[in-house]
Amino acid sequence: MAISERLSGNEAVSFAIKQINPDVVAAFPITPSTEIPQFISQYIANGEMTTVYVPVESEHSSMSACVGAQAAGARSMTATSSCGLAYMFEMLYIAASNRLPITMACVNRALSGPININNDHSDSMGARDAGWIQIYAENAQEAYDNFIQCVRIGEHKDVHLPVMACQDGFITSHAVERMELIETDKVKAFVGEYNPEKYLLNPDEILAVGTYDTPQYYMEHKKAQTEAMKNARQVIKDIAKEFETISGRKYDMIEEYRMEDAEYAMVIIGSSAGTAKEAIDELRTAGVKAGLIKVRVFRPFPLEEIAAALKGVKAVAIMDKTDSFSAAGGPLGAEVKAAIYGKVDGLVAANYIYGLGGRDVRVEHIKLVFDEIAELVKSGKQPETYKYLAIRE
């Protein structure tokens, strides 16, 4: 029987880590992810986990220690947010290029500056080209479910890549929700033992990790890395199907909400999807054919799924909880537009920057966006390249 519980996102992910009982956790406190290493430390103190916890002096060292531990043959995990993730930046690339399936609980928070502890996606979106798989949760249930799946996805023999399990800081990480946990024996059986093919601590075969790569080899290694990321698409789908058998909950690259006959659509990531669903229900009641595409997996990017879901739609609002400062919009805006290019004809695509630094996103904001894109279709006008939502001018 599944366990019905009331937990915050941080509690849920910490509980998943306890159930998995990884070999090594190396972590450093940073709001709002700090609770995760706190819970782990307490679980270890209580004798509920046997994980070796490395209380490092910085996030750069937490990722460095995870690189060392995972390369040595240990299932390794960490948690971080915001500037902590930025401080790991160099090591994120090294973890990915060394093909080390480290699992990270990323609790999304705005990057400094100005310093701000609240949620947006500037941290993980800043690391979007680091070679990590990125999976985003809408709520605590998904944060828990995703985290368990992430371990399997990264460690899969066709993938061997690190994975970020992202959830929105405070909104998801600290708000307590009713949710269902899976029995520990089922989680352990689902995740299984970590038995890497190559590892430093193999006495029968020495291994050199992180060797110097000349121009004769570097590009082939990058190609292998990108092939692994492509392979992850099928692996993510397969593992979601398997996860459904133990949880009853369905997951995929994207989630479509009331998209069957939608004329106006929104593409969004994370907790605001919940707000958008509420707004869409209200719009539907008022006779507006509105729908939502929630991007669950951002890396690898679900370009085919998004293009297919947007077929027949008149206008789409692409919502970025970060600004890439390209002066051309946010990363999701750019990538969704690239996904529909040549695939979906005549679609009006508007890019919004919203919810930065914890700015509240309410149902009326989402409805305003739908009003605006409907107006564009009606008037035949092109949208601005991108715009900030609900901003004081």
Partner 1 sequence: MAYNFKEVMNRPDRLASGHRMCAGCGAPIAVRAVLKAIKPEDHAVICSATCCLEVSTCMYPYTSWKDSFIHSAFENAGATICGVEAAHRALSAKGKVPENYKFIAFGGDGGTYDIGFQSLSGAMERNQDMVYVCYDNEAYMNTGIQRSSGTPKYADTTTSATGKNSAGKTQNRKDLTEVIAAHHVPYAAQTTFIGNLKDLYEKSEKAIYTPGAAFLNVLAPCPRGWRYEGEDIMEVCKMAVETCFWPLYEVENDVWKVNYEPKNKRPIEDFLKLQGRFKHLFKKGNEDLIAEIQRDVDHRWELLLKKAK
Contact positions vs partner 1 (CB under 8 A): 23-24, 26, 50-52, 54-58, 60-62, 64-74, 76, 90-91, 94, 98, 200-203, 206-214, 217
User: With respect to partner 1, which residue has the nearer C-beta, 9 or 22?
Assistant: 22
Instruction: Give the tokens for residue 271.
Output: 């907790």
- Report in angstroms how near the CB of residue 227 gets to partner 1 at its nearest: 18
Of the pair 78, 149, the CB lying nearest partner 1 is at 78
Considering the complex, state which of residue 27 and residue 266 has its C-beta at the smaller distance from partner 1. 27
Minimum separation from the CB atom of position 26 to partner 1 (A):
6
Closer Cβ to partner 1, 32 or 101, answer by number: 101
User: Which pair of tokens denotes residue 325?
Assistant: 């400062």
* Closest to 137 in 3D by CA, of 105, 112, 110, 100: 105
Q: Which residue number, 58 or 234, has a Cβ lying nearer to partner 1?
A: 58
Q: In this structure, what token pair is assigned to residue 317?
A: 């609002």
d(CA 359, CA 242): 37
CB of 89 to partner 1, least distance (A): 11
Helices (H), ranges, 114-173: 122-126, 140-155
Rounded to a whole number of angstroms, the minimum distance from the CB of residue 244 to partner 1 is: 31
What SS3 state is found at 250?
coil
CA separation, residue 68 to residues 91, 129, 161 (Å): 11, 22, 15
Q: How far is the CB of 144 from partner 1 (least distance, A)?
A: 24
Kindly state the smallest distance separating residue 231's Cβ from partner 1, in Å: 23
Q: How far apart are CA 158 and CA 142, in angstroms?
A: 24
Give min distance, CB of 156 to partner 1, in A.
Answer: 20
- Residue placing its CB nearer to partner 1 in the complex, 56 or 110: 56
Q: 381 burial class (0-12, 13-18, 19+ CB within 10 angstroms)?
A: exposed
The rounded distance, in Å, linking the Cα atoms of 129 and 355 is 22
Give the pair of three-digit tokens for residue 118. 């609240």
Tokens of 308: 């297919």
Closer to partner 1 by Cβ: residue 57 or 185 = 57
Q: Which two tokens stand for residue 56?
A: 């490092």
